[in-house]
Amino acid sequence: MDKQQTTVAESKAMRGALHLYLSQVAHVANNRGLTLQDMVKVIEKLEIKPNTTNLKETFVKPYIEKAFGLTSTEKLSAEQVTETYDALNLVFGHYWHIELSFPSRDTQALNSITDETI
């Protein structure tokens, strides 16, 4: 088996283990009389590291739906992208002091080359 096949097999096994773990948690929770409503009350205490996907789902999609009535970033005009960036950069800067310039075409091209070589 090559490295990619091994990684796929390991990922599948790990997903299976996670599924089994959740099944076991459900069994114990049910035996203790817990409901899902009881359990979701603490979901905000789970530490989730930000990534592109969860930032998009948590911040971008709700914003563009409320601001523009859109459900997909693929439908944003250039002006709407700018407005979305401005709003997000303002919030990220205010609350977490994360203020970044909008990526230039050169930065995007460099990132594309880097992604292809990794």
Position 7 confidence tier, pLDDT thresholds 50, 70, 90: confident
Quote the radius of gyration of the chain (alpha carbons, Å): 20
Q: For residue 58, name the pLDDT band (cuts at 50, 70, 90).
A: very high
For the cut 80, the answer to whether the pLDDT of residue 105 exceeds it is no
Cα–chain center distance at 112:
20
User: Stretch 43-53: mean pLDDT, rounded?
Assistant: 90
Query: Domain extents for the chain?
Result: 1-43, 48-118
Please give the pLDDT value at position 1.
Answer: 61
The model scores a pTM over 0.75 = no
Helix pair angle (78-96, 61-68), 10° resolution: 130
